[in-house]
Structure formats: structure tokens, C-alpha cells
Structure 1
Amino acid sequence: MGSAVAWSMAGFFTRLIHLDTWTMLVWRGLFGALGIAAVALTIEGRDACRDFLRLGRAGCLYAVLSAGGMVLFIASLRHTTVAHVAVIYATVPFFAAALGWIVLRDIPSRSAVVASIAALIGVIVMVGLGHDGGLSGDMLALGMTAGMAGMMVLARRFGDMPALAAAALSALLSGLVCWPFAQPLALNGADLFLLALFGLVNSATGLALFTLGARLLPPVETALIGALDAPLAPLWVWLAFAEVPSSGTILGGLIVFCAVAAHLGLAARRTSR
């Protein structure tokens, strides 16, 4: 849940930082990688350096999927509407459930499936479902969604994968991939400070917590909790910039929150029994 809170701050930071998207992503990735590496060194000492050497194919694939997903996400926003991207990403619990069943033989619970459907409905209510999107952008968003589901399954399947090393490499790759399209040196001290906060809060904290948490939960549950990103994002913008969300956004957000809370409550009850 902590990763969903951290990732939902992206809209807040993009409103604060008046730079092009590619430049923001470069520094978000670089500062995120530095932040995760610093945490790993603090916790594990010299062992953190060895973790990069034992990432293996799974860790490298995880980092590539994460970095690629970020690039696909930005590209999709340039070719279709934000509403379409949000709705397509809300299908990630179904991708995660399907991949989890194929790879891990992990059959999702009935409450997880029902909650995923309810969360998808909530996101559709939040953003609407117009016909002004583009097919190429929708396909890019679909690829990003499938990549996120793959990350969840990888983290669950390879529980011994060095989580922080994989997250640091992922953040670094996302920054380097965006470098050719950005103007990374065209900024001032204030911008650099805000970009550092963006990278440390949104990238480092979000990616590290996601990678650690995804090892402990079935993929569909990881994806379902991640759906809280959608209703939390407008909340921070409302608190910081007094942008009152529409009634549809509020209603859809409540549906998502209730769906996730109900599923977590049922799961906790089953565990206690």
C-alpha cells in the first residue's frame, strides 16, 4: 500500500515542476536510483554491492520491464487520452491474475476477482470512457499494463531476488532511456531540489516498497492494492492546489477504496481463521 501512496504523488510533483516530461523522468530515475542504493547500503552494507552481481536473469528482466513500462506509459500519453490510459491500466489485476495462474499456478480468490472488477468500474467512473483516444496509444498503454503484471509475477516467483538492487537498476534504466529525449541540464537549483524530492519520494520509495511487497503477495492482490493510486492522485492535487475533484472522480474513488478495503478485510478474516 505504501508504494501506491508514493506513486500517487506523481501528479502533485508534475504540477510543482515546470519542465518537460522527459527531463523530469531523467532526474526522477537518477535520484530514485541513488535513493534506493543509499537505503540498500545503509541496511546491507557491503552486501548491497554484491546484490547487483547476483541479480541474475530474473532481476535484470524485472528492471527492463519496469524501465520499459515507464517509457511506454509516457509514449501512450502522447498518443491517446489520460482517461484511456487510466482505464487500461486498471485492468492490471486481470493481467496479473492470468499470469499468476499460468506461471505460479496461483488461483485468485473470488473476493479478489470481484474487487478487481469493482475497482475497474470505479476507475471508469472516475475518468469516463470517451471515444477520443488513439489505437496506437491504447496499445502502448496495454503493453505497459502487461509489463507491470509481469513485474508482479517475477517478484513473487523469485522471492530471493535482490529486491533493492533490482529496484535501483530499474530506476537507473528509466532515467537513462529518457536522456536522449530530454534537456537534463536546462534547470536551476530550485528545479533540481524538487526533482530530487520527486525521485526520492515517487521513484525510490514507491519502487522499493513495490518490489519488496510484491514478493509477499499473490500478483492479483499486489495489482489490486496498486489500484489505490488512481483515487489518491487527485486527493494530493486537491489538498495542495485546491483543485476540487468532480463528483465522478469522488464517486469512482470511493468505489475503488471500498473494493480494496472489502477484499483486504475478507482476506484478513480468512487468515485469522
Structure 2
Amino acid sequence: MMDPRREHLFGIIFVTAGAVTWSSAGFFTRLIALDYPTMIAGRGIFGAVGMLAIIIAFAPKTWTSQFRNMGWSDALYIVNYIFGTICYVSSLGQTSIAHNAVIFATLPFIAALLGFIFVRELPSREAIFASAIAMVGVVIMVGFSNDGALLGDILSFLGTASMAASIIIVRKYRSVNIAAGAVIASFTSGVIVLPFAELSAVTPTHLVYLVLFGLLNASAGLTLYSLGSRRLPPMETALISLIDTPLSPFWVWLAFGEKAGPQTLAGGLIVLFAVILHIFMSQRRQRLVVRLDPGRS
């Protein structure tokens, strides 16, 4: 039996790595500079190809069985992924980035609520405290703007709720085949927006960038995030995910020199502080639990 502290630490590492990988979306969007449907289609399709290659590499003789042996919980995971992707993509054109960021900051609280309802897991006091700090940081980052729209805000909320639901699904149903489900969901989401893509504008250079976008942002990000979410409570997974919010503009600034204002920097530092504080407190709590109950190690 694996040490609970080590299992918890692996969960933190995987989710953090997944969130860092996902935070490259803004970088790739600026780098590729194509219409959004084309980028989403490329990300989904090439991401699916990358994940399929990983599956075949690790199970060259039995990989097809992973797709044949899927159950209703796998179908639930796939449908939820596709639904969330469509909602999120649609919301980007209907409301402001500021509103999207603030709504995304509710992810830990939605995950905590769904976790209590479906998994019967109560969030720790440390997670609640750190989530509240992170929420303050995100609000400071984006400010309070009036440039959103009701439809876009609703779609953004549904996309955030879908992400929280994916955390609960892989946590509750351990039999879900994350890799195979991600291949189907990623490919399907890419195909859905393909009719709206401007494929004639894609150059060989764009194609290389789209492949990297799919492999790094979609394939690696989703795999790492899903593996980590199985090892952590829902609210903790969602909290660590918020590291994506300040890192996204950081990569754009680093690569393209787009400076962030003091409000963005201050809020981003608060979010990072909240995540690091929670990691420190949760690891300290894990060590205390093992000392009080050595049989759990």
C-alpha cells in the first residue's frame, strides 16, 4: 500500500504540472495567430493523436481493449469533456476575459460542493482558507468590469462547472479510463469546430505550432491533471488549478513582451501565494496525520 503522504504529494505534482501546461494556451494563441476555431480544432485533433500514441507505446498489444471495454462512467467523462469545451470556447466570444477569470475562480467552491454531494468529501479548513485568498487575488487581477454579457457569463460558468465535474468523475469512478476517454473527447471536440475553421490560412509553420499546441497543451495537460485529480480531494485539485490564472499572462509577457499592469501582478502574486500556502499546509497536515496514526503510512 502506498504511503498516503507520497500519494498526496504525487497528486499535487501532477495537478500542478497539468495546470502549468494548460497555462500555455495564451502563449500558443498568440504564437499561432489564426482564427479561434482553427486553433481549437488543431489542439483537439493533434492532442488526441498524441494521447493515442502514448497509449499504444505503453500497451502495444492491448491498447484496443481500452476503447472496447468502456462503460457508462467513461461515456459520462467523455460527454462532460465535450460539453465543457464547447461552453468554454463559446463563452470567449460572448463575454470578457475579466469575467471569464472571475467565474473560473469559483472552481474550488463548485468542486467542493460537488465533492460533498457525490463523493461525500468535506474540504479541509486549509483548502477553504486558501481558496478564499485565491479568490481575492483573481478579483484584484481582473477588477470589476461591466463589459460582460449574460449569455457569455452563463456559458463560462457551465464550462467551469464542467471542469469541476470532471474532477469528481475521475475521483468517484476509479474505473474511468482517462487516457482512452481523453482521446475520444479531444478528437470529437476538435471535429465539432472543424467546419468553422479557416483551413486555407494554415501554413506549414502554423501546422507545426498546432501540433505542439495539441501535444503539450491538450495531451500532456489533460493526462497530468486527470492523474493528479484522482489522488487529491476535489477542492484541493481545483485550488491548485488556479495557478493557471496568473501564469497565462506571464508566459505571454515572457515571450512577446506584453507587460502586465500592477493590478494583474498583485493579484497574480496573491493567487500564487494562496496555492503555495495550501501546499505547505496540506503537507504539514499529512505529516501530522501519519505521526498520530502510524498505521496509515
Q: Is TM (by shorter chain) over 0.5?
A: yes
SS in 1 for 2:174: coil
Work out which of the residue numbers 23, 43, 55 in structure 1 matches 2:70: 55
Once the two structures are TM-superposed, the CA of residue 160 in structure 1 deviates from its matched residue by 2.4
Q: Deviations over 1:87-119 (max 9, x none)?
A: 101101111000000000000001101111111
Q: Does 1:96 align with 2:111?
A: yes
Partners of 2:198 and 2:174 in 1: how far apart?
38
**Deviates further, 181-190 or 246-255:** 181-190
Q: Deviations over 1:128-181 (max 9, x none)?
A: 121121011101111111111110000101122112111211211210111122
Q: What residue is the counterpart of 2:131 in the other structure? A: 116
Partners of 1:41 and 1:104 in 2: how far apart?
32
Q: Does 1:87 align with 2:90?
A: no
Q: Are the counterparts in 2 of residues 64 and 173 from structure 1 also a CA contact under 8 Å? A: no
**Deviates further, 120-129 or 224-233:** 120-129
Q: Are the counterparts in 2 of residues 63 and 173 from structure 1 also a CA contact under 8 Å? A: no
Q: What residue is the counterpart of 1:248 in the other structure? A: 263
Q: Does 1:30 align with 2:45?
A: yes
Q: Deviations over 1:30-56 (max 9, x none)?
A: 000010111111122233221112221
Q: Does 1:21 align with 2:18?
A: no
Partners of 2:286 and 2:24 in 1: how far apart?
31
SS in 2 for 1:45: coil
For 1:1-273, list aligned pairs within 5 A: 1-273=16-288
Once the two structures are TM-superposed, the CA of residue 234 in structure 1 deviates from its matched residue by 1.0
Name the aligned partner's letter for residue 202 of structure 2. L
Partners of 1:169 and 1:211 in 2: how far apart?
15
Partners of 2:176 and 2:88 in 1: how far apart?
25
SS in 1 for 2:146: coil
Runs (5+) with no aligned partner, structure 2: 1-15, 289-297
Partners of 1:258 and 1:186 in 2: how far apart?
42
Partners of 1:56 and 1:144 in 2: how far apart?
24
Q: Give the TM-score taking structure 1 as reference length.
A: 0.97
Dislocated runs of 4+, deviation >4 Å:
none
Partners of 1:179 and 1:65 in 2: how far apart?
19
SS in 1 for 2:93: helix
Name the aligned partner's letter for residue 51 of structure 2. I
